[in-house]
């Protein structure tokens, strides 16, 4: 089943949220410390991923162009607006805003290499191990996020399932028209760009910055475009020049 890993990921996020909801009476000081710990761990994870690039020029250009597109499209505002819409429909009952929990959890769970690589493995090889591992991690993170940010974390399961499920379904056909070398190059640069975004999320979580990370998301698509252009040039451009 192509979508097994994706569905398990969504279910564990929901389960973690429900468990975290039971732990909402954690003292505020403890919540703050826990959130700082999560932020620091996310920073280290993002830094580790960010160092995986084989060509940082591609990463820099992609993030800059992605930021321009994201700001023009106001993606961060739209994502927050979606969270506030959910908030109006569900109600907060005096807890931390649903919008904050939804946006923060969505960015943490969606951005990153594990989701893309795991979904590709599910689609290409029917191997769900990467997504199973990501599911366990996301489940534990959702427990902590819910205890500090509230029930909004639960709704992040929706974009996670749609995003990873779409990639998995697309991957069942991707090997027909995308060379393995190009895919490897894309994953390396996408991992680095995504890692920098995760690093920014960690800085936001510990309260150091207020970076609109969602507005950087188009950078992932720009990475794919630039890597494809570079690959085509290296494969065919040099051959034409030699003639």
pLDDT tens, residue by residue, 117-166: 788 778 877 888 878 888 888 888 888 888 877 888 898 899 999 999 99
The upper half-sphere exposure of residue 19, i.e. CA atoms within 13 Å in the direction of its Cβ, equals 14
Mean per-residue pLDDT of the chain: 82
pLDDT tens, residue by residue, 20-29: 888 767 677 8
The upper half-sphere exposure of residue 8, i.e. CA atoms within 13 Å in the direction of its Cβ, equals 19
Mean pLDDT, residues 77-93: 67
pLDDT tens, residue by residue, 164-189: 999 899 888 876 777 888 888 888 89
From 44-48, 67-71, 220-224, the region with the lowest mean pLDDT: 44-48
pLDDT cut 70: percent of the chain above it = 88
Mean pLDDT, residues 112-120: 75
In the predicted structure, residue 242 carries a pLDDT above the cut 50: no
- The answer for residues whose C-beta is within 8 angstroms of residue 80's C-beta and 6 or more apart is 99, 103
Mean pLDDT, residues 195-201: 85
How far is it, in rounded angstroms, from Cα 46 to Cα 191? 9
């Amino acid at each position: 089943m192509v979508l097994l890993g994706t569905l398990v990921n969504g279910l564990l996020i929901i389960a973690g949220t429900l468990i975290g909801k039971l732990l909402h009476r954690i003292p505020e000081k403890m919540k703050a410390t826990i959130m700082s710990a999560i932020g620091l761990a996310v920073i280290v994870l993002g830094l580790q991923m960010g160092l995986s690039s084989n060509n940082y020029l591609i990463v820099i250009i992609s993030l800059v162009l992605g930021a321009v597109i994201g700001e023009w499209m106001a993606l961060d505002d739209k994502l927050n607006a979606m969270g506030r819409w959910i908030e109006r429909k569900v109600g907060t009952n005096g807890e931390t805003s649903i919008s904050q929990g939804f946006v923060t959890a969505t960015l943490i769970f969606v951005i990153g290499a594990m989701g893309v690589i795991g979904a590709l493995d599910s689609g290409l090889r029917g191997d769900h191990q990467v997504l199973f591992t990501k599911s366990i991690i996301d489940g534990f993170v959702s427990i902590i996020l819910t205890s500090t940010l509230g029930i909004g974390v639960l709704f992040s399961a929706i974009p996670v399932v749609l995003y990873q499920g779409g990639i998995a379904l697309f991957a069942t056909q991707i090997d027909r028209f995308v060379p393995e070398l190009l895919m490897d190059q894309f994953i390396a640069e996408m991992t680095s760009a995504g890692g920098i975004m995760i690093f920014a999320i960690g800085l936001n979580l510990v309260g150091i910055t207020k970076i609109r990370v969602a507005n950087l998301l188009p950078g992932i698509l720009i990475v794919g475009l630039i890597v494809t252009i570079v690959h085509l040039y290296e494969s065919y451009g040099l051959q034409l020049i030699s003639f």
